Amino acid sequence: MGSTQIWNEVLSPEDLTIYANHYLNDLQAAGGSLSAYFPDQLINDTFFSWMTEQDTGRLAEVRSADAETPIGSMGGGQKAMMQMPLIGQKVRINEMDQLRSFHQGDSHFREDDMTKATETVVRAVANRVEVARGDVLTTGRVRYIENGAIVDAGIGRDEEFEVTPKKHWDDQDSGALEDIISWAMAYEDANGTKPGTIIASPKVIQKLQTNKQFRDAANTTGELARVSSGAINAVLQDQGLPGITSYSRSVRDGKAARRILDENTLYFLPPETQSGLLGYTVWGQTVEMHSPEYNLSGAGQIAVGAWRENDPMAYWVRANCAVQPILTNPNMAMVAHVVKPGPAKKAGRSAK
């Protein structure tokens, strides 16, 4: 590879960075993203500190006249700190793509190449962050082993918030309805509120559709071998619980696909509308954000710039960010491993 230098002739780093962050926000707002439970929080640092297991629900006390006012608490818990991992990708605009643009004689074609490349790297970053959100929810840990970066650290979720039924739901005679009610009660006892959302994969929902307890609760006119997902939700709502939201998103990872959430697990979460109650997606600072070559005037989640390579003549569009989803209230996410996992394989892999 020949020497490289920043390239401003078509779109500057600030132009690309503004476009990239708008595109990222559009991707997250399009639906199907766990960003609803992990709203963005931008910090002017590479480290983020937070308190876990805060308890601000202590009642005030009755006091007698002329007695001192009882002392309350601002909340307890554990203070945690971590360095934001760096995530990025670059893609190459090769010689033939450049020749096509020059042949058209219109700078708009080169702008299209730049924006398409920007969208590619931003999607890659957004998908990797979504994988991290799912991993944090499922494991209650921050973990990654990639390109020499190794982290595996718990973030304070209590053991009783990762549960397994006495009988897995693969068995139609399992106590699935009783399990859900019991876990929801434990969630409410610990958090002072019922779960606002229950998420499961189509695989888990299919197990419930043939579960005897749900069939008996939903069937008022004869025997049914299978009940609808609507009937399942009606049974849960009759118990004062939210219906189950089906979630099956996966993202491409090379030639295969990677699931965001474990397909064998049921998730109890707060409502989407209570932004920040569960945690945040924390975006920190990168070198590019302070580089005079980039000359960025404002903060954002991702920094993007184009670089020129002189031998061979090519251009690179590069995105970098420092980001990590964090559970600031880890016990607001309860996970139940309800289906026995099958042979290990990645989702979406086609049969040979």
CB neighbour list of residue 239: distance below 8 Å, 6 or more residues apart: 181, 184
Strand 313-327 and strand 303-310: the pairing is antiparallel
C-alpha 5: how far from chain center: 34
Beta strands in 201-239 (DSSP E): none
pLDDT(208) > 70: yes
CA gap 226, 260 in Å, rounded: 28
Comparing CA positions, the residue from 306, 304, 264 lying closest to residue 22 is: 304
**Between 40 and 352, whose confidence is greater?**
40
CA gap 32, 288 in Å, rounded: 30
Q: Where in the chain is the domain with CATH 3.15.30.10?
A: 4-52+77-157+275-332
Residue type (1 letter), 55: D
Torsion of CA 18, 23, 29, 33, to 10 degrees: -120
C-alpha 70: how far from chain center: 41
pTM: 0.86
- 347 pLDDT tier (thresholds 50, 70, 90): very low
Share of the chain above pLDDT 90, in %: 58
CA angle 113, 21, 146 (to 5 degrees): 85
pLDDT(70) > 70: no
Write out pLDDT tens, residues 253-290: 888 889 999 999 999 999 877 778 899 999 999 999 99
User: What is the C-alpha end-to-end distance of the chain, expressed in Å?
Assistant: 37
Q: 50 exposed, middle or buried (CB, 10 Å; 0-12, 13-18, 19+)?
A: buried
Residue type (1 letter), 100: R
Comparing CA positions, the residue from 82, 112, 21, 27 lying closest to residue 319 is: 21
Per the DSSP assignment, residues forming a β-bridge with 90 are 318
Q: Which helix (DSSP H) or strand (DSSP E) does residue 280 occupy?
A: strand 279-283
Per the DSSP assignment, residues forming a β-bridge with 245 are 199
Average pLDDT score over residue span 24-34: 90
Whether the upstream peptide bond of residue 312 has omega within 30° of 0, thus cis, is yes
Write out pLDDT tens, residues 99-117: 666 555 555 557 888 899 9
> Is 137:267 a contact under the CB 8 Å cutoff?
yes
CA-to-CA dists, residue 74 to 18, 71, 190, 331, angstroms: 39, 10, 18, 18
Fold held by 4-52+77-157+275-332 = putative capsid protein of prophage fold (3.15.30)
